[in-house]
């Protein structure tokens, strides 16, 4: 495949998977291979820039190797039902969940993901985020040619009901008091990178009485389950302002959370 960007729209750029579940997979494929053979450096740079700046679709980018975007699309399509199930099961209890997540996969030469990171998420539920990450982690993609490849995969879950929005200052004081940075995760394996609490971003839902009902996370590196569970438990124990009968959502950068 050449270094040009290529898109594979489905249903006008979006593919609806089960209206009842409210899951949209945004755009399916946009490919920009940064290192195809036979191109000069300026062409490689332009291809990489095109991949990184495109919006709305899955991106396949060569780091050292070359990924087959069509093959990646086929693998992901085959597992849409599993991703939908992650969301559907959670909304049986938390009907208000919704938002967009973007995951970054590093694909090794054998076609298996070396790492899967939830680089952004406004879904606000770690159960859903962890489930989707686990589904993607077990997939087997067409092996990239020449080394590792990187795949960016966006998914949008359409909320069944609207929720209000708070600014971070509404929760900053109480979350700082919770000393979220005291949470410690497992030691990374050799060569593995894991996100520290200060590198994470949390999205919370706050219900009547100021109770935190759901928490989710995102970070540039994979998130350790132990840290996520600790931070989520501390956040749920926080008493916030009452949104007066409403359900509201707020995102907060945990770099502002002090250590003990």
What's the pLDDT tens digit per position in 202-222? 999 999 999 999 999 999 999
**pLDDT at position 17 over 60:** no
Give the integer Cα–Cα distance in Å for 195 and 58.
23
Mean pLDDT of 95-121: 96
C-alpha atoms less than 13 angstroms from C-alpha of 73 in its C-beta half-sphere: 19
128 burial type by CB count under 10 A (0-12 exposed, 13-18 middle, 19+ buried): buried
Q: What is the pLDDT of residues 51-75, one digit of tens each?
A: 332 334 666 554 567 889 999 999 9
Give the integer Cα–Cα distance in Å for 239 and 146.
52
H helical segments located in the chain: 41-53, 69-77, 80-91, 126-137, 169-177, 225-236
| 52, 42 Cβ separation under 8 angstroms | no
If one compares 214 and 23, the residue with the highest pLDDT of the two is: 214
Please enumerate in sequence order all residues whose Cβ is within 8 A of that of 232, keeping only pairs 6 or more positions apart, or say none: 126, 215, 217
**pLDDT at position 31 over 90:** no
Of 120, 127, 115, nearest in space to 151 by CA = 115
Hey, is 115 helix, strand or coil? Answer: strand
Mean pLDDT of 73-78: 94
Q: Is-above-0.95 flag for pTM?
A: no
Mean pLDDT of 135-155: 93
What average pLDDT is seen over the chain?
80
**pLDDT at position 2 over 50:** no
- Provide the pLDDT for residue 191: 87
**pLDDT at position 77 over 50:** yes
- Provide the pLDDT for residue 134: 97
**pLDDT at position 118 over 90:** yes
Q: Characterise 105 by phi-psi region: left (phi > 0), alpha (psi -120 to 50), beta (else).
A: beta
Of 4, 129, 1, 5, nearest in space to 58 by CA = 5
**Residue 146 confidence class, pLDDT cut points 50, 70, 90:** confident
**pLDDT at position 227 over 70:** yes
């Amino acid at each position: 495949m050449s270094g040009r960007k290529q898109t594979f729209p489905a249903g006008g750029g979006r593919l609806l998977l089960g209206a009842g579940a409210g899951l949209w997979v945004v755009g399916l494929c946009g490919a920009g291979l940064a290192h195809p053979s036979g191109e000069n450096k300026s062409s490689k740079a332009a291809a990489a820039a095109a991949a990184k700046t495109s919006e709305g679709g899955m991106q396949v980018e060569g780091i050292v190797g070359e990924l087959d975007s069509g093959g990646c699309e086929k693998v992901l399509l085959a597992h849409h039902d599993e991703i939908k199930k992650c969301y559907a099961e959670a909304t049986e209890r938390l009907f208000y969940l919704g938002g967009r997540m973007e995951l970054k996969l590093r694909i090794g030469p054998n076609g298996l993901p070396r790492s899967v990171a939830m680089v952004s998420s406004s879904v606000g539920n770690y159960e859903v985020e962890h489930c989707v990450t686990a589904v993607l982690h077990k997939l087997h993609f067409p092996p990239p040619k020449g080394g590792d490849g990187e795949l960016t995969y966006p998914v949008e879950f359409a909320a069944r009901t609207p929720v209000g929005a708070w600014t971070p200052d509404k929760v900053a004081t109480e979350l700082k008091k919770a000393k979220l940075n005291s949470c410690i995760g497992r030691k990374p394996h050799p060569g593995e990178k894991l996100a520290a609490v200060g590198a994470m971003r949390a999205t919370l839902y706050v219900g009547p009485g100021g109770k935190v009902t759901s928490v989710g996370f995102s970070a540039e590196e994979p998130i350790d389950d132990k840290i996520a569970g600790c931070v989520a438990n501390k956040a749920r124990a926080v008493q916030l302002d009452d949104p007066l009968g409403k359900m509201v959502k707020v995102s907060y950068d945990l770099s502002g959370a002090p250590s003990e």
